[in-house]
Amino acid sequence: MKQELIIAGFGGQGVLSMGKILAYSGLIEGKEVTWMPAYGPEQRGGTANVTVIVSDEPISSPILSSYDTAIILNQPSMEKFEDKVKPGGTLIYDGYGINNPPTRKDINVYRIDAMDVAAEMNLIKIFNMIILGGYLKLHPIVEIDSVLKALKKTLPERHHHLIPQNEEAIRKGMELVK
Amino acid sequence: MDIKEIIQPENMVYHKPDLLNDVPMHYCPGCSHGVVHKLVSEIVAEMGMNEKTVGVSPVGCAVFAYKYIDIDWEEAAHGRAPAVATAIKRLWPDRLVFTYQGDGDLACIGTAESIHALNRGENITIIFINNAIYGMTGGQMAPTTLMGMKTATCPYGRDAKLHGYPLKITELAANLEGTCYVTRQSVHTVGAINKTKKALRKAFENSMQGKGSSLVEIVSTCNSGWKMSPEKANKWMEENMFPYYQLGDLKDTTNQ
Amino acid sequence: MADQEITLMKGNEAIAHAAIRCGCDGYFGYPITPQSEVLETLAEQKPWETTGMVVLQAESEVSSINMVYGGAGCGKKVMTSSSSPGVSLMQEGMSYLAGAELPCLVVNVSRGGPGLGTIQPSQADYFQSCKGGGHGDYRLIVLAPSSVQEMADFVDLSFELAFKYRNPAMILSDGVIGQMMEKVVLPPFKPRRTEEQIKKEAPWAALGRDKNRKPNIITSLELDPSVMEDINIRLQKKYAQIQENEVRYEEYMLEDADYAIVAFGSAARIAKKAIELARGEGIKVGLLRPITLWPFPIKQVAALKDKVKGILSLEINAGQMVEDIRLAVECKIPVAHYGRLGGIIPAPDEVVDALKKMM
C-alpha cells in the first residue's frame, strides 16, 4: 500500500494540520510517512499545500510530480493540481469557493461540501476533519482509531476535550462522500 | 648597596607582576598598553584568578596581548571579542572573562557585538583602549578621532561633513540596562594609574559577582600615530581628549 | 524505552533534539527561514534547565559564529545553524575556526540565491561549503543528510569528527530536509562532558591555565611566513588524513546499472524516485549518494567509469558537484548535469527525461 497525496488550499484552512494528522496516524500504525509543506509566507493568507506520503515501503522522494489523490480546497489550487492527479486517481474538492469544477474524465472526482456542513454543525474550525473523513472513506489507509490517537498526540492538552467533536466531523465526512 | 642586595625580596620596592611575561613588548615606547597590561596582570593575581581567567584579545595593537600576560587567551576576529567572551562566560560561569579592545575594534567594526553583549548584561568586563586612532595599521582615522584631528585617512583633519562625529560609545553603554559599571579613566599619571586599577578591579569583581557588564574605557595616547613624543602626547591628550572624553564614572549601580 | 521512541518531526526539530541529547554545551544562532525551527525548538525545550546546555539568540550570524569560536576555543561542544545568506555572513568566522583548529558544528539549511534570493530549497551552497567559502586554504568536514533521521544522526557524528580532527564540521542540508516531517528515532541521551573530561579530551582549550602547564592560546595569527607555512602544511596533512579515512557514501541499485545518478541530500531522494520510474521503463540506473561532500568519495565515483556508460549529476543548483565528478572520472565517460534553480525542486519525471537525454 502506498498513497501519495497533495492537500492544497488557503492558509488557515487547516491544510498543513490535516496532513500532519494523517502522517501521524500512519506513523502510529508503523507505516512509513513523509510530510512536506510548501513553506514560507505562502502559509499566511496565500495558498498552502502539503505533500503527504503514507506507505508500507520506505519512501524515496518527498517531492512528487503526480499524485494518487489531490484534496483541493480553493480555486488556485484546482488550477495548479487538477492536472497532476495520476490517471485513475482521486480528486476531492470542497465546492465552497470553487468557480470552475474539475473537468477531467480519467480520474475519480468527489465533491464534499464540508464548509457548508461545518457551518451547520458549528464546527468551522475543524472543517478539515470532515474532508479527512471523506478521504478516509475513499482510501482507508489508516484506521479512525489511529487518527484519534494522532489527534491526542498533536493537539495540545488544553484542546483534548475537542477530540470527540473531531471524531464526529470525521464520521460526518465519511457519510458525505458518495 | 650592590646589585645582589638590591634584588633581595626585603629590599624590593617594585617588581614586575608575576603574570607579566618576561618578553620584549612590541608596543612603542610611551604607549599606554604596557601600563594597562601590567594592571590586568596584577589584578588577576590579586584576585587569585590566575587559573580561572580567560582573556579575549582583539585585532589591533593589542592583538598579541596573549604573548604578554601569562593566562589562557582566545584571540578574536576584528570586532568580535564581546561575542567570543559571551560564549566563554556563559559556558564557564565561574571563570573571569574579559575583552581587551581598541577603538576601531570596539567602536567601529565591532559596534554591534559590543552594544549587544553589554545590553544583554553579560558578566564580562570590556577594557576599551581609546587613543582616537588606528595604531596597528599605521595611523588611520578611528571612530573616536577628534574633530579636526589629522590622520592618514583624514589628512586635512576630521570633518563632520565627510567623516561624521567622534563616537562616544561609553556614554551609549552607560544608557544600556545590561551595564552595571561604566567608567572612563586614563593611565598618564601615577594617580590616574591607581584610579584605573581600582576601576578594573571593581569591574572584574562585578563580573564574578554576576552583576552585569562592566565597561572600562581608558583614554590613551598613541604617540607614534599622533606623531608626538610620549611627553607631548600626554599633554595633547589632557588638552584635547579629556574635554571631549571626560574622565570619571558614567554609571555605577553596584553600590545600590 | 523513551529513548527509542519513534516520532514524527521536521528535520530542523530533529537537529535541535539531537543536539540536546548528544551532550551539546551551547547553541548560538539567529533566525532565518527555512531553519528557524532549530532555535525555536531549543528555546521551547529549555535544555538549560535539564542538561545545562546554553541556548542564545545572538544579534547576528556574525556574532553567532564568533560565539561558536569562543565556545569551541574553551573546549565546549558548540554549534550554530543558519541558512544560506546567514552562512555567507559566517564565512569569516569559519575561516578563523579552521585556522585556529576548533571543533564545532555549523548547520546550513540552505535556500536559493544569490543574494537574498528565495526562501525555497536549493543546493547552491555546495561550492561554498566544500571549496572554502572563507579565505585561506582550509576545509570543512561536510555531511549531507537526506532524511530527517540523518539530520538527527549527523549531529553527534559531526561533533565526533570535529573533535577527532580539531576541525569545524558542517551539516549541509536544505529547505526540503529541514521542513519535511518524517519518522525519526532520536539518539539516546549522553551526558555533557565534565570539566575533567574536557581537560583530557581538549588539552589545548583556553579555559583557565592550570599551574602545571603553559597558557593555551587560541589564535590563527602567525606573522612569521616560515612558521605559517609549516602550520599550513600540517593542516594539509590533516585534510589528507580526513580524505583517506572519513569518506561516507551510499550505493543504491548500482549492481546492474548501465547509468548512474550521483546526488546528495534531498536530490538523492528525488533520484531514488526517478530510478524507480526509469527502471519501470527498463532503464537500468542506480545511485551513488555522497554522504560526506568533503571529503568527496573520489574513489567510489572514479570506479563508476569502468561500470556505467554515463553519469547524471542531479543537483538543485546550476552544476557544482558535477565538477568534482568529472575530475574523479577524469572525463572518461560522459557526465551530464541536471538541476533546477531559484528554489524550484526538480520533479522525478524531469530527472527521467534528463537521463534519457543523456543516453
Q: pLDDT tens, C237-261?
A: 999 999 999 999 999 999 999 999 9
In this structure, the answer to whether residues C155 and C293 fall within a common structural domain is no
Q: Residue C188 sits in which domain range?
A: 2-195
Q: Cell digits for B63?
A: 592583538
CATH of the domain at C311: 3.40.50.920
Q: What is the ipTM of this complex?
A: 0.94
Q: Pick the closest to residue C12 from C93, C89, C117, C110 (CA basis).
A: C110
> Do the domain assignments include residue C33?
yes
In this structure, the answer to whether residues C257 and C191 fall within a common structural domain is no
The B-side interface with C (CB below 8 A) comprises 50-54, 56, 63, 66, 70-77, 80, 83-88, 90-92, 95, 112-113, 116
| Mean pLDDT taken over chain A | 92
**Structure confidence at residue B236 (pLDDT):** 97
Q: Look at the alpha carbons of A112, A116, A119, A120 in this order and tell me if their dihedral is positive or negative.
A: negative
By three-state DSSP, how is residue C55 classified?
strand
Average pLDDT (C112-125) is 95
The pLDDT-based confidence of B238 (bands split at 50, 70, 90) is very high
Indicate if the pLDDT at residue C122 is higher than 90.
yes
> Do the domain assignments include residue B234?
yes
Dist CA C209 CA B31 (whole Å):
28
Interface residue C64 vs chain A (CB under 8 A): no
Indicate if the pLDDT at residue C73 is higher than 90.
yes
Average pLDDT (C104-126) is 96
Largest CA distance in chain B: 63
Interface touch C120/A40, C-beta < 8 Å: yes
CATH of the domain at C98: 3.40.50.970
**Structure confidence at residue A45 (pLDDT):** 58
Dist CA C134 CA B123 (whole Å):
31
The pLDDT-based confidence of C2 (bands split at 50, 70, 90) is very low
> Do the domain assignments include residue B44?
yes
Dist CA B117 CA B240 (whole Å):
30
The domain boundary residue, chosen from C195, C212, C237: C195
> Do the domain assignments include residue C28?
yes
Could you tell me which residues come within 8 angstroms of residue C323 by beta carbon, excluding any fewer than 6 positions away?
none
The pLDDT-based confidence of A97 (bands split at 50, 70, 90) is confident
**Structure confidence at residue B5 (pLDDT):** 85
Indicate if the pLDDT at residue A43 is higher than 90.
no
Q: Cell digits for C73?
A: 576555543
Interface touch A61/C119, C-beta < 8 Å: no
Residue A74 phi/psi, 5-degree rounding, is -155, 170
Option in C182, C276, C345 nearest A63 (CB): C345
Q: pLDDT tens, B154-199?
A: 999 999 999 999 999 999 999 999 999 999 999 999 999 999 999 9
Q: Which amino acid is at B95?
A: R
The pLDDT-based confidence of C1 (bands split at 50, 70, 90) is very low
HSE, side-chain direction, 13 A CA sphere, residue C334: 11
> Do the domain assignments include residue B3?
no
Neighbour subunits, C (≥3 Cβ pairs < 8 A): A, B
Average pLDDT (B141-151) is 97
Tally of domains within chain B: 1
**Strands, sheet with C310-314, edge to edge from the N-terminal-most edge strand:** C249-252, C285-290, C259-262, C310-314, C335-338
Indicate if the pLDDT at residue A41 is higher than 70.
no
In this structure, the answer to whether residues C184 and C271 fall within a common structural domain is no
Interface touch A32/C183, C-beta < 8 Å: yes
**Structure confidence at residue A151 (pLDDT):** 94
| HEC sequence for C342-355 | CCCCCCHHHHHHHH
| Mean pLDDT taken over chain C | 97
Please give the C-alpha separations between residue C35 and each of C31, C102, C178, in angstroms, as whole numbers. 7, 24, 7
Domains of chain A: 2-176 (3.40.920.10)
Neighbour subunits, A (≥3 Cβ pairs < 8 A): C
Average pLDDT (B230-244) is 97
CATH of the domain at B51: 3.40.50.970
Indicate if the pLDDT at residue C67 is higher than 60.
yes
Which of B53, B75, B99, B106 best probes binding to C when mutated, by most C CB atoms within 10 angstroms? Answer: B75
Option in C69, C78, C208 nearest B53 (CB): C208
Q: Name every chain C residue with its beta carbon within 8 A of the beta carbon of A39.
A: 33-34, 119, 175, 179
What number of other Cβ atoms are within 10 A of residue B192's Cβ? 16
What number of other Cβ atoms are within 10 A of residue C196's Cβ? 8
Q: Cell digits for C67?
A: 560565539
> Do the domain assignments include residue C139?
yes
Dist CA C269 CA C274 (whole Å):
9
Interface residue C343 vs chain A (CB under 8 A): no
3+ Cβ–Cβ pairs closer than 8 Å linking B and A: no
Q: Residue B215 sits in which domain range?
A: 19-252
The pLDDT-based confidence of B14 (bands split at 50, 70, 90) is confident
**Structure confidence at residue A44 (pLDDT):** 54
Quick one: closest CA in C to B119, which residue?
Answer: C59
Q: Look at the alpha carbons of C63, C65, C66, C67 in this order and tell me if their dihedral is positive or negative.
A: positive
Q: Cell digits for C23?
A: 551532550
Whether cis (ω within 30° of 0) applies to the bond prior to A41 is no
Q: pLDDT tens, C270-288?
A: 999 999 999 999 999 999 9
Strand partners, C314: C338
> Do the domain assignments include residue B12?
no
Q: pLDDT tens, B76-100?
A: 999 999 999 999 999 999 999 999 9
> Do the domain assignments include residue B214?
yes
Whether the Cβ atoms of residue B135 and residue B162 lie closer than 8 Å to each other: no
Interface residue C359 vs chain B (CB under 8 A): no
In this structure, the answer to whether residues C304 and C167 fall within a common structural domain is no
Tally of domains within chain C: 2
Dist CA B140 CA B132 (whole Å):
9
